[in-house]
Amino acid sequence: MTTSTTYELSREHEEFRRSVREFARAEIAPHAAQWDRDHHFPVDVVQRMGALGLFGLTAPEEYGGAGEDGDFTSLCVAIEEIGRVDQSMGITLEAAVGLGINPILTFGTDEQRRTWLPDLVAGRRVAGFGLTEPGAGSDAGATRTKAVLEGGEWVVDGAKQFITNSGSEITSVVAVTARTGDRPDGRPELSAILVPSGTPGFTAEKPYDKLGWHASDTHPLSFAGARVPEANLLGERGRGYAQFLATLDDGRVAIAALAVGCIQACLDMSLEYAGERQTFGGPIGRKQGVAFQIADLEVMLHASRLLTYRAAAMKDSMADGHGASMKEFKQAAAVAKLYATESAVTATRIATQVFGGYGFMEEYPVARFYRDAKVLEIGEGTSEVQRMLIARGLGLPVE
């Protein structure tokens, strides 16, 4: 598929959207509420998503990916449509590609790519992205996890938290940022290291009891003398922090796409309910108090979608070797992530209000979307971090 630096989707993208929508409605929507109640990570459905080609949309054909028939915009379309019926499966796809596949694809050696990508791209396995720690979230430079080179092996000690796709039965590897030394100016040297699942000393701890995203796989990780080959260094030594920041730029747009799916779901549910719910002799959609709120959902949806796909088009234009600059893309990614995610949180509040007391009941999907939305403002860079990045992009010396 090809795209331009504009936000308009091509006919091929829209056809692809319809195919993903059909899959999501048939394979995910009927089960999402039960998975949420059971905190169940549906491996079989994740692998069917892989069979549909959703994990390979940004990968070359040599690893089983879509090659020229896919692009970053296609990934955002898929995330939006999956997230429209279930945010847990939406984040599973987003993290598996953006945080699992892309770092290996972008920074890995030929051998690392051959080892890990075929199964990841096919959706037979998933990979995690170990950046956040108990004392290092937005301040990733405060990383305490250490990796020491001994006898041709990295010995990793430390802990990570809030890591998606890190402890499922199909998790194959986690890329971990660790201190591998000190720079001449005293700052820590941070590198990225691939730690396979099953490595002695590497433990995916008990999964979190989360507010939302109940069907996604999220664990704290611990490393106690975990040994991996020296060749498991991902990218250049000392460049781990920069590599993961670059990874997060793409991830912000993908999270914005997940937020767009959330807003679309809120609009869909609110429109249906407002036409069915009867009060004072007519549907509640006749009341301005309800109708105006639903109109606001429509505005937020269009604005969020346009910002998101504009940023995605910029990313694709960069891949083609022309178009947007990295600076322009980073700014567009931060703007899309900030606006779409904050709009999604607002959209779920509006939708819940439209449903009234029923919106507070777990039997209605709106309650699940309400719980799922908040983390969109936190993951892959908080709203505060996005505002900081946007301000810096405008030339303001903000700290």
Structural domains in the chain plus CATH codes: 11-125 (1.10.540.10), 129-236 (2.40.110.10), 241-393 (1.20.140.10)
pLDDT of residue 324: 84
Q: List phi, psi (to 5°) of 283.
A: -70, 145
- Selected catalytic residue, list 81, 94, 377, 380: 380
pLDDT of residue 173: 98
Dihedral sign for Cα atoms in the order 377, 381, 385, 389: negative
In angstroms, the CA 366 to CA 361 distance is: 9
In angstroms, the CA 63 to CA 118 distance is: 5
Strand pairing of 171-182 and 126-130? Answer: parallel
pLDDT of residue 7: 63
- Tell me the HSE value of 319 on the side-chain side, using a 13 A CA sphere: 21
pTM given for the model: 0.95
> Is 230 a known active-site residue?
no
pLDDT of residue 387: 97
Do the beta carbons of residue 53 and residue 97 sit within 8 Å?
no
- The residues, ordered by sequence, that sit 6+ positions from 27 with a Cβ below 8 Å of its Cβ are 45, 48
Q: Which two tokens stand for residue 7?
A: 């936000």
Query: Mind listing the pLDDT tens digit of every residue in the chain (399 residues)?
Result: 444 444 679 999 999 999 999 999 999 999 999 999 999 999 999 999 999 999 999 999 999 999 988 899 999 999 999 999 999 999 999 999 999 999 999 999 999 999 999 999 999 999 999 999 998 877 767 889 999 999 999 999 999 999 999 999 999 999 999 999 988 887 889 999 999 999 999 999 999 999 999 999 999 999 999 999 999 999 999 999 889 888 899 999 999 999 999 999 999 999 999 999 999 999 999 999 999 999 999 999 999 999 999 999 999 998 767 788 999 999 999 999 999 999 999 999 999 999 999 999 999 999 999 999 999 999 999 999 999 999 999 999 988
DSSP state of 252: H
Exposed, middle or buried: residue 353 (CB in 10 Å: 0-12, 13-18, 19+)?
middle
Q: How far is CA 300 from CA 94, 266, 293, 380, in A?
A: 22, 11, 11, 21
